[in-house]
Amino acid sequence: MTEAAKGAEPDCDVVVIGAGFAGLYAVHKFSTLGFKVVAFEKGADVGGVWYWNRYPGARCDCESYYYSYSFSPELQQDWNWSLRYSEQPEILNYLSHVADKFALRRHYRFSTAVTGLTYDDRTQRWTVEGSDGRRVSARFVVSAMGCLSQMQRPNIAGLDNFTGETLFTAAWPHGGYDFTGKRVAVIGTGASGVQAISRIGRSAKHLTVFQRTANWVVPVWNGPMSAEFNRWVKEHYGDIRARCRTSQGGVPFEPAQVAALDLDEKTRQATLEKYWERGGTQFFSAFTDAFSNIEANEVVAEFVRAYIRRVVHDPKVAETLIPTDHPVGTKRPPMDDDYYETYNRPNVTLVNLRETPIVGFDASAIRTGAASYDIDVLVLATGFDAMTGALLAVDVKGKNGKRLGDVWAEGPQSYLGLGVAGFPNLFTVTGPLSPSVLANMPTAVEQHVDWIADCLSYLKAHDIKSIEATPDAQKEWTEHSDMVASQSLYPRANSWYLGSNIPGKPRRFGVYIGGFSNYSQRCEAVAQNGYDGFVLH
């Protein structure tokens, strides 16, 4: 790059950050509407979380026929999924196909992270700085950086002493990794760890799982996408997508309408069996009161406990795998078909870090208070700085030079998870306090991007240069979101939804759990009322 090019500030209408589901659709939508778009992506190609999380067993916990875009009827008719719940390589291929089909890569600067966003009050534009030192000036910035993209490096004493291979599930080597003949340790039993553990257990010479907190894991009963089901889906896509848009979870099915506590024991068990057979997230929608009433939650929890005790041969191992510190479903429940069975394998050992914490590492071993475990490979499935981490990793300076990190010092505040007071013309796709991770992500992404696109078109048509959430609207929404969360059982778990997996992070429930459909109706009403709650200049 020449010095002249470096530091140049070409103009565009919109900068989009990210090339996952959200970023790709945003680039497609805005450019189709005639906006000049420049997009940044820190990875070398498209995919977002599906670009980075290539660990064995990485798979989506929503079924692919609805964990996919709805915006192009042609795309949804042409693309065929091989599994009900697709694995990472297939989802990445899908996103790559979308990028090809709609010629999206031409808008991107790949291998370029955004490092700074600075708003100029006078010009009402953002200066976007990339990790290559180049800058772009944009009227609008749309952050599509994802809710779970800022990987957490755990602060475990002595970790640097380990000289063997260390792999992060969230930054997996592109060529894959062969565990054959290797002694492997996995730290982390969240959704990533759980998926990786059952796969690694099949090939490693020995696998030792270091569990700090047991999680409630439910099966999805994954299997091939049969030709018959594929045909049915394609014939009914209009209806399936409409149901996603009008449901409270962004999915094509509604939760049951019956409370566990209104049923007799026999009917409860029969209901749970039925929903267990459906598997995955559907299991958690068996009752209306499972997430609001601890007694009802306990009914569900006891069902899963009994399952774990049935499947795991060693009773002591089974008890270690049963969560004791949070109601079922209140931490993101991992989903896997072989997880509990994995602990019956002779080559798999479970270590309970609550009983015997890690005290240090040697060059080729992990030491706990009770034993030393020789290993060749360490796999860290230790999670993300969720919801806010990716955006706060950027130096975001809004009006009057105010930093987003300072505004969010006590926890994220936002209006509808779309905008933040003091940061005009900055939109966050599936931002904090929107339904995001508790809705089906592609449905949530399309709703946000469509809303933002309509907003940009409205501003253009009315020659308006800036839009900004008002402090009052933001306060009302943040309090509403807090209130809805507080009426549920979710805050009883120390989870990444609350930020409690990150040392020192302020606790605020980062997801709006009032329902996707209710939420999108509110967004619609705001737009119809001339962007009620926003100031337009």
* Spacing of C-alpha 415 from chain mean position: 20
Is 352 a residue that touches ligand NA7 (CB under 6 A)? no
Under the criterion CB under 6 A, does residue 18 sit at the interface with ligand NA7? no
User: What is the rounded (10 degree) CA torsion for 20, 24, 25, 26?
Assistant: 100
Tell me which stretch binds ligand NA7 (CB under 6 A): 9-17, 112-120, 148-156, 397-405. 148-156
Question: Rounded CA gap, 13 and 35, in Å?
Answer: 6
Of 31, 189, 247, 320, the residue at the interface with ligand NA7 (CB under 6 A) is: 189
Decide: is 154 part of the binding site for ligand NA7 (CB under 6 A).
yes
Greatest CA separation for the chain? 75
Is the separation of the CB atoms in 8 and 129 below 8 Å? no
Number of residues that bind ligand NA7 (CB under 6 A): 21
Among 104, 148, 420, 438, binds ligand NA7 (CB under 6 A): 148
Q: Which is nearer to ligand NA7, 368 or 470 (CB)?
A: 368
* Residue 192 binding ligand NA7, by CB under 6 A: yes
Least CB distance from residue 154 to ligand NA7, whole Å? 4
Q: How many CB atoms lie within 10 A of CB 112?
A: 19
Helix (H, G, I), strand (E, B) or coil at 377: strand
| Segment interacting with ligand NA7, rule: CB under 6 A, options 228-236, 375-383, 394-402, 504-512 | 375-383
414 binds ligand NA7 (CB under 6 A): no
Q: Does 208 contact ligand NA7 by CB under 6 A?
A: no
332 is a site residue for ligand NA7 (CB under 6 A)? yes
Whose CA is closest to 330, among 298, 352, 305, 356?
A: 298
Q: For residue 368, give the 3-state DSSP assignment.
A: strand
Stretch that binds ligand NA7, among 73-81, 182-190, 412-420, 520-528 (CB under 6 A): 182-190
Determine, following the binding rule CB under 6 A, whether residue 318 of this chain makes contact with ligand NA7: no
Q: Are 93 and 122 in contact (CB under 8 A)?
A: no
Binders in 498-517 for ligand NA7, by CB under 6 A: 501
- Residue choice 37, 299, 381, 390 for contact with ligand NA7 (CB under 6 A): 381
- Which H or E run contains 359? strand 358-362
382 binds ligand NA7 (CB under 6 A): yes
User: DSSP letters along 111-143, please?
Assistant: T--EEEEEEETTTTEEEEEETTS-EEEEEEEEE
Looking at 97-105, 378-386, 397-405, 421-429, which segment touches ligand NA7 (CB under 6 A)? 378-386
Which helix (H) or strand (E) segment is 165 a member of? Answer: strand 165-168
- Shortest Cβ 459–ligand NA7 spacing (Å): 33
Q: Which of 39, 32, 140 is nearest to 428 (CA)?
A: 140
Residue 330 touches ligand NA7, criterion: CB under 6 A: no
- Tell me how far apart the alpha carbons of residues 53 and 59 are, in angstroms, rounded to a whole number: 9
Give whichever of 353 and 393 is closer to ligand NA7, judged by the CB atom: 353
Q: Can you tell me which of 19, 99, 187, 469 binds ligand NA7, judged by CB under 6 A?
A: 187
Between CA 406 and CA 411, with CA 407 as vertex, the angle to 5 degrees is 100
502/527 with CB nearer ligand NA7? 502
* Consecutive H or E run containing 108: strand 108-109
Distance between CA 391 and CA 405 in Å, rounded?
Answer: 9
Q: Specify the residue, 112 or 382, whose C-beta has the smaller distance to ligand NA7.
A: 382
Contact set with ligand NA7 (CB under 6 A)? 148, 154, 156, 187-193, 212-213, 332, 353, 381-384, 437, 496, 501
